[in-house]
Amino acid sequence: MFYDTAKIYVRGGDGGNGCVAFRREKYVPEGGPAGGDGGRGGNVILKVDPGLRTLVDFRYQRHYKAERGQHGMGKNMHGRQGEDLILRVPPGTVVRDAATGEVIADLVYPGQEAVVARGGRGGRGNARFATAVNRAPRLAEKGEPGEERWLELELKLLADVGLVGFPNAGKSTLIARVSAARPKIASYPFTTLVPNLGVVRVGEGRSFVMADIPGLIEGAHAGAGLGHHFLRHTQRTRVLVHVLDIAGSEGRDPLQDFEIVNRELALYDPDLAARPMVVAANKMDLTGAAENLERLRGALGDRYEIFPISALDGEGTAPLIYRLADLLDQLPAPEPAVEERVRVTRVEEPRFTVSRRDGVFVVEGREIERHVAMTDLENEEAVERLQRIISRMGLEEALKEAGVREGDTVRIGKFEFTYME
């Protein structure tokens, strides 16, 4: 099955918890704290696999989580780092944040990677908190939770040449003639339900990739027929070949077909209208083709190169293929990917914000939420440390300014507290 869209949930591995331990060895007097740090959680990484052609694997499994870090141990032994989770995607996959729509990565090159969910750092063991004043700390940090998000994956096939045109114009027959692709070919509309890729070899050492885009009809840009779903695959092609049923064997006018399809391309993406295009006047072996070819040349000959062909028996396809190869040699190299790794948007944001929702005071902010998540709330010494952090950050004063009173509920991240004076 051909799947070119998917929505998945990814989460980096949580960091391992720090350890509370003390050295008690026969010949080590006053050994002191010896709790090791937890290991960092693994990242979720998308990696381009040139052997893949669809996103079908993501239709059956939607949730992915990397391995968490190992907890710290006694004798100052740190926990092992969690294994990264590598998800393989086909070339041409665009990755977006489902919540914001921001493009995170555009994965094009074989082996290209993008970290889409980072693992949390490991919590520090009690050995890290020893000071001259507190020589035997009994607190350690919990591991930081890994990043989590929903992603939208969209595949845009990587092809040098794209075949466009009305259903039954002969696109599948043409790609089957000039390459090793073997799409289904029949005499009814919309025989081609998914795009097909084929490698066209032009002499020794020259080749290019051709894509057969399912037939477009009027209104395709707005969702009519199959065109809206597959028009995205024309966006990466460098040259378009407009395949026309020049004999009008389906009862349509070839010139009218040409105008309709070009209009749909422009309405979907204005850049497509400026893309280099040649016209393949197909089905020259049928009655009426010669007369329509003259009309076509009179109307479009000064704007487009027109190649009369018969995809069924291969007549005229060689000049078309060689011309496409020459055009590709003359065009600039494809633009590089939008992003190879996650874009880091550095925005000045407050350390925390306080709002009131349904009688609950909600505190939000990455820094304060991380402090709370990494605090062992069942450890009295750790809670005291969190209270000092909250006081230094000015959160207590902010809550008072927001109108908090003793006994009110305060929510920070996933945790709720009762405010006490």
Could you give the domains of the chain?
Answer: 1-156 (2.70.210.12), 161-330 (3.40.50.300), 353-419 (3.30.300.350)
pLDDT of res. 322: 93
- Was 214 annotated as part of a binding site? yes
- Was 194 annotated as part of a binding site? yes
- Was 169 annotated as part of a binding site? yes
- Percent residues over pLDDT 90 in the chain: 50
- The predicted model gives 274-302 an average pLDDT of 92
pTM across the whole model: 0.74
Exposure of 64 in the CB half-sphere (CA atoms within 13 A): 28
- Was 171 annotated as part of a binding site? yes
Angstrom distance (rounded) from CA 320 to CA 110: 29
User: Does residue 241 surpass a pLDDT of 50?
Assistant: yes
The token pair that represents 59 in the structure block? 């239709």
Mean pLDDT of the chain: 86
The answer to whether residues 171 and 212 touch, using CB atoms and an 8 Å cutoff, is yes
Angstrom distance (rounded) from CA 399 to CA 402: 5
- Was 282 annotated as part of a binding site? yes
- Was 146 annotated as part of a binding site? no
pLDDT tens across 188-226, in order?
Answer: 444 445 677 788 888 777 888 888 887 665 554 444 444
- Was 100 annotated as part of a binding site? no
- Was 284 annotated as part of a binding site? yes
- Was 375 annotated as part of a binding site? no
- The predicted model gives 301-320 an average pLDDT of 92
Q: Which residues contact 323 (CB under 8 A, 6 or more apart)?
A: 278, 305, 307
Where is average pLDDT lowest: 72-76, 96-100, 240-244, 336-340? 336-340
Beta bridge partners, 88, equal: 47
- Was 213 annotated as part of a binding site? yes
The answer to whether residues 74 and 63 touch, using CB atoms and an 8 Å cutoff, is no
- Was 92 annotated as part of a binding site? no
The answer to whether residues 404 and 410 touch, using CB atoms and an 8 Å cutoff, is yes
- Was 290 annotated as part of a binding site? no
pLDDT of res. 340: 44
DSSP, collapsed to helix, strand or coil, labels residue 178 as helix
CA dihedral 339, 342, 343, 348 (to 10 degrees): 180
Q: Which long-range CB contacts under 8 A does 217-220 form with residues at least 24 apart?
A: 217/166, 217/167, 217/260, 218/260, 218/264, 219/264, 220/264, 220/268
**Amino acid symbol at 29:** P
CA nearest 84: which of 123, 56, 116, 59?
116
pLDDT of res. 248: 87
- Was 210 annotated as part of a binding site? no
Highest mean pLDDT among 52-56, 269-273, 302-306, 345-349: 302-306
DSSP 310: B
pLDDT tens across 380-416, in order?
Answer: 999 999 999 998 999 989 999 999 998 999 999 889 9
- Was 166 annotated as part of a binding site? yes
DSSP, collapsed to helix, strand or coil, labels residue 60 as coil
The answer to whether residues 238 and 276 touch, using CB atoms and an 8 Å cutoff, is yes
Q: Return the H-helix or E-strand segment holding 11.
A: strand 5-11
- Was 412 annotated as part of a binding site? no
- Was 93 annotated as part of a binding site? no
The pLDDT-based confidence of 345 (bands split at 50, 70, 90) is: very low
- Was 379 annotated as part of a binding site? no
Residue whose structure tokens are 């190869």: 325
User: Does residue 310 surpass a pLDDT of 70?
Assistant: yes
- Percent residues over pLDDT 70 in the chain: 88
- Was 55 annotated as part of a binding site? no
